[in-house]
Chain A
Amino acid sequence: MTIEGSHRASDAGAPPEIPPRRSTTRDLERYARLFAQRTQVMKSSAMRDLMAVTERPEVISLAGGLPDTRTFDSTTFASVMAHIAEAECARALQYGPTEGHADVRKHIVAIMDEEGMRVEEDEVLVTTGGQQVIDLVCKTLIDPGDVIVAEAPTYPGAVPTFCSYQADVVQIELDDEGMRIDVLEQQLEILDAQGRAPKFIYTIPSFQNPGGVSMSLERRRRLVEIASERELLVLEDNPYGLLRFEGEPLPTLFSLDGGQFVIYLGTFSKILSPGVRLGWSVAPRPVSAKMNLGKQAVDLCSASLTQRFVNGYFETGEWRGYLDLLIGVYRRRRDVMFEALEEHFPDGATWTRPQGGLFVWATLPDYIDTTDLLARALRDNVAFVPGRAAYLDGRGGSSMRLNFSGVDEADIREGVRRIGEVVREQVELYSKLTEH
């Protein structure tokens, strides 16, 4: 294991002396003084440390947000890669344009068309995962103290991004029809009174992460109107729109607004693979131009190799079939999760009933803290995401996010059974603790 062992004396003589690597707490203090202000708000949470235990093989983790990549046909993978090796090896290994390979953008136009959105290829910015869009939008729009409106709960992965740009995040609660637009309007008026306005409203209208709910058509229309009336931007994050198991598709905010005030965020992560790390945005051109500059500063361009893979794969025309396969698998898993929740969760627990996507959001009696519950559940080798991860203001303490896409049916059943048992135990103990 020693590093020194791998160094060999060169012909030129003795190996150069390697200065010892110092690592002391005083050094740490010294570096800490160099940290930027924004690192003060970058949160490393207790929860994240607890989550480290969930990676262990004996743990059934309903905590992930993972699509099931085991469903992907490896022969397709091999033939696409073989084609790249034969026909476009040099290109796959080369830098590419910041905005992405033209043929990948062409496929993105087709994918968006599938959900009723009409865009031009040159409007698309290919990014390194959808996550980079959130970062680039913040980089483009947010100065410290600027307001972002998000849903409550919101996508846990957006929280550190918002925090690192020192945004002031206002969260608007959800119900079964998505973001409460009436509450949004009240909040906007409160901000008006303070002489403030949000730079953008961040929403996942379809099969929200973590809530699982979808915004109703009426609310979608009203949100787009508000954006236009107030000239606010909306960041529509739509990773799951095509993963609908039942019910009529709803128009995206982007299609309702025609791309005037809506920045659209798409991703290949849930319809193909998160491993390719490719997403995209379509934004009003002046915003997109700034985002492009921002992306140049971050990574010059997204990976050419995976863009070649995505192009090759979409050229095969298999993607719709694969999407149908995913929908079938996830629908069954969701149904199993519903059955298990019904059977094992006690009275007083509620959960959302998503018609697509990857997640169910369950809420327990308010005296149960799901972060503590996770510690208890880990003793029984089962994990979930505590609700607090989806809030910036300490709310969500009695809720949890449960993933059904990345775990097989037997594990979903067993995982929910174990969580249900621990919850029942807590409910019973609490009633004993309050007996006086």
Chain B
Amino acid sequence: MSRVAVLKGGRSLERQVSLKSAARVVGALERRGHDVVEIDVGSDLVERLREAEADVAFIAMHGRDGEDGTVQELLELVGIPYTGSDPFACIRCWDKVLTKHALVEAGIPTPPFYAFNETAFRGLGAAQALPEIEERLEFPIVVKPASQGSALGIKFARTAAEVPKALLTAFSYDSKILLERHVAGHDLSVSILDSPDGPVVLPVVEAIAHPDDDFYDFVARYEVGRTHFACPAEIGFNSASGAQALALRAYELLGCQGFARVDLMLDATTGESFVLEVNAIPGLTTTSLLPQAAEAAGIDFDSLISRVLELALARAAA
């Protein structure tokens, strides 16, 4: 049995989601007999990590600090093994623009996009280029911040008139944004769980939005009964295995470890799948997708958490 520091909360906008994830993780760890120290991440983090004398840290954080590699870097420094990906993989997943450039380079399909820093609009007149971007991407266009999880700050622009407001929203969450072609079809998630024999791809989950909801947004994502999930997704064997293969390639390309969740869109007309993003620390709440997928594969929540913890310890030992 290990002494486990569960890192949670923090300053991120997804603080609440993290607290929910962490509560479940703590429960699972305690049921397996581990000694748990909970740390709400703040300015005393380094000190508390040193005091905790933990064998391993379980990072149950979402959003900035937890998913962007910051906490991982500090844990490396303090010398405590931790769950999930290392700082480099975290950085590549956290920044959707970096992710997409890497995907494009590796030939993994991702929807066409244009990315800009705020400075491009403030100082370089990028607004002048919007009509051309709109023509190339075609409406509706998805406008999103380069970072942030849980669909925070994502807007659909259906007309040119809606683009500036959507950009303003995205810039409220990050100083870097992207405009992306919308793929109409199935909203899929493929979770990947490492094992001593290499990563295992879990069954595909499809999120089917409530008819009143615009798309699979932040509210729907965390509210029981708001979004219907099909797990495994009913999209046919070929589409499912295609999505799984892409997800695994993306996972390996970005250097993820332990676990991750890859979000994709399956084009309803062409049947082609596109990778949207990779989440280095997938949600572990009662409505989250990774636990659902694991369960569909016969891995209950406690076993899932144990597996992720063991992988972290094994990595440290190696």
Contact = CB atoms under 8 A, between A and B. Distances in A.
Contact of B168 (A23, A32, A52, A367): A367
B167 A433 contact: yes
Q: What's the interface size class on A, roughly?
A: 35 or more
B165 A432 contact: no
B145 to A, nearest CB: 9
Contacts of B239: none
A21 B31 contact: yes
A367 B224 CA distance: 31
Q: What's the interface size class on B, roughly?
A: 35 or more
Contacts of A433: 121, 127, 163-164, 167-168
B127 A369 contact: no
Interface in A23-71: 23-26, 28, 32, 35, 39-40, 43-46, 48-50, 52-53, 56, 58
A3 interface: yes
Contacts of A46: 152, 217-219
Given A50-B13, A426-B172, 19 more contacts: A1-B35, A3-B30, A4-B33, A23-B27, A24-B301, A35-B225, A46-B219, A49-B13, A56-B42, A368-B168, A375-B13, A376-B172, A429-B118, A429-B121, A429-B122, A429-B171, A432-B121, A433-B168, A436-B130
Interface string B44-76: 000000000000000000000000000000000
Interface string A408-432: 0000000000000000001011101
Interface of A: 1-4, 20-26, 28, 32, 35, 39-40, 43-46, 48-50, 52-53, 56, 58, 367-369, 372-373, 375-376, 378, 426, 428-430, 432-436
A49 B169 contact: no
Nearest to A3: B30
Nearest to B23: A23
Nearest to B286: A28
B292 A426 contact: no
B37 interface: yes
A53 B164 CA distance: 27
A53 B33 CA distance: 31
Interface string B211-230: 00000011100111100000
Nearest to A40: B225
11 contacts: A20-B31, A25-B287, A26-B295, A44-B219, A46-B217, A46-B219, A49-B14, A49-B16, A53-B11, A369-B168, A430-B165
A373 B172 CA distance: 6
Contacts of B118: 429
A2 B26 CA distance: 10
Contact of B38 (A1, A44, A426): A1
Interface in B1-23: 11-17, 19
A436 B287 CA distance: 43
A58 B40 CA distance: 14
Interface string B194-214: 000000000000000000000
B299 to A, nearest CB: 10
B153 interface: yes
Contact of A432 (B28, B38, B127, B169): B127
Contacts of B291: 24-25
Given A21-B31, A376-B172, A429-B171, A53 B122 contact: no
B300 interface: yes
A433 B124 CA distance: 11
B173 interface: yes
Contacts of A426: 168, 172
B295 A25 contact: yes
Contacts of B217: 46
A43 to B, nearest CB: 8
Given A53-B12, A436-B128, A430 B37 contact: no
B107 interface: no
B28 to A, nearest CB: 8
Contacts of A40: 225
B13 A53 contact: yes
B164 A430 contact: yes
B174 to A, nearest CB: 10
A378 B13 contact: yes
Nearest to A372: B172
A49 B17 contact: yes
A426 B224 CA distance: 34
